[in-house]
Each structure stands twice: as C-alpha cells, then as structure tokens.
A = this chain, B = another copy of it.
C-alpha cells in the first residue's frame, strides 16, 4: 500500500506521525506487539506496543548516551550488563570501550533480537561479537540472581507498561545495587520531563535511597516524546561529574563528546526541580 502514515500517540492528545514506505514485519510476541517498518524520514524503525523504540536515523543518540556516560565514569569497566536493549545498539557502543571484557545482554523477548538482526543490521550487528553473551531471559530475575558481578549495568527498557513495569521499582534498584560490584554504577532510561515528570521524580527519590551518587542527564531524541529524554544514574562511588580529563579516550561518536558528557547533566530549571 502507498500513502500509509504511522501515528504514535505519545499522550492522549499529542503524537508524531510519519510516512511509511513499507511494513516489514508485525507480530504479537509472547510479551508485546512488535512492528518493524521502513519509514521515509527515519529509515527502518522498531515499534513495541505502538511506541517508537529506535530508528536507523536517530538511534545513535540514545545508544551513545546510555553507554558512554557510565562507561567513562567508571575507571575500569570490565563487566557490563544490559537489561533489555534487544536491538543491540547499546551493546555496539559498549564494545567501543577496550576495557570491557564481557558484555551480557538479557532481553526478555527473543523476537526483538531476531527482527533487529534482520532489519536493523547496523544496530544489532555486534550482538555476535565474541565479548558478548546474549540471553533471552527475564532481566528482573537475572538481576535478582546476580551478586557483586557487574561494574556497570544499563537498563535499556521500554516505558513502564507491559513487560518493563518491574524495571521501574525500588526493589529492582535494590537488586541492581546487589548485582553491582562495590564501586559499580548503573544507568536507566527514565522517560521525558514534559509528560512523565512524576515518574522522574519518583525514580530519583527511589534511587537516592539506595545509591550515594544519584544524577539525571538528558539527550535530544527527536522520535521520542518531547524530544528530550532523561537518564538516571545511580552510583556507589564514582561521580559522572568528576571524571578526570585523562580518563576519556577518543571514541567514534555522532552525539557524545567528553564536553557534552558533563554538560548533559546541566538541566533546564523545570527538570532540575524534579531532582530536588
């Protein structure tokens, strides 16, 4: 068919709409409704339960900002866990750090991995790397069963509906603290401040009760609601604002820079207010 437009209602009363070249795949998996489409503006795009997950054109922002901020904050990140992130984009960025010896990906939905490999190869291509251990499993349970194991944990989840509901709870953050080594650090995507202010405030409050260093940073993701995305860091020791200049090394990126690493924590006033 021609003339198709895909509209994501980001709230009850607002959304984005994009012209579709062709539908590539649709499937009700065991966990969510998966759609893959080729769009005119953003290239191939993955939707879960009607929400944009990633697109070929703007995926670099999210994946770079999830991975590089905590990885440059930790002085020697050897073991990394990615919860969710079945498209493989975060893993691709993680592998740019030579210190990383092993990166484990735990996504609950094997179909996301399967169709990302097929239709988003430049995003998912590094899932086959020898440093990567891919597991189709429940991230919440994986965390619950891990102890003192990871230097860095990255929570690359969907919104807190459907399979990701557990990943926005205080119990989950406590599990992460246990799964991390003594100087470990975690990051989670925590939605946007325009429509989900209460969620951000709640996550900040919960994480602060468990981690001595709690921070919020932002990035511009044009296909996500409001274009302004937040990421919450909980760290046992290392502060992303105190990274020494010689810790950074050259890395091939399109969004992240070492200057932006620190600037991304400087928040608009109405966002800063959510952290206080």
Contacts and interface: CB of A to CB of B under 8 A. Distances in A.
Interface of A: 7, 11-19, 39-42, 58, 61, 194, 218-222, 225-228, 253-257, 259-260, 262-263, 266-270, 272
Contacts of A12: 19, 40
Copy number in the complex reads 2
B19 A17 contact: no
Given A227-B226, A227-B227, A263-B263, A268 B13 contact: no
A179 B266 CA distance: 34
A202 to B, nearest CB: 21
Query: Which of A15, A17, A268 is packed against the most chain B CB atoms within 10 Å?
Result: A268
A42 B266 CA distance: 25
The 6 closest A-B pairs by CB, nearest first: A227-B227, A263-B266, A13-B40, A222-B226, A13-B19, A14-B41
DSSP class of A's interface residues: helix, strand, loop or mixed? mixed
B226 A255 contact: no
Given A13-B39, A42-B14, A253 B227 contact: no
Given A254-B269, A254-B270, A58 B194 contact: yes
A7 B5 CA distance: 12
Contacts of A226: 220, 222, 227
Contact of A269 (B15, B19, B222, B257): B257
5 contacts: A13-B39, A16-B16, A219-B268, A221-B227, A254-B268
A206 to B, nearest CB: 25
Nearest to A228: B220
Given A222-B226, A255-B269, A256-B268, 5 more contacts: A7-B17, A14-B39, A58-B194, A254-B268, A255-B270
A14 B7 contact: no
Contacts of A19: 12-14
B15 A17 contact: yes
A28 B180 CA distance: 62
Nearest to A257: B269
A17 B269 CA distance: 27
Contacts of A228: 220, 222, 227
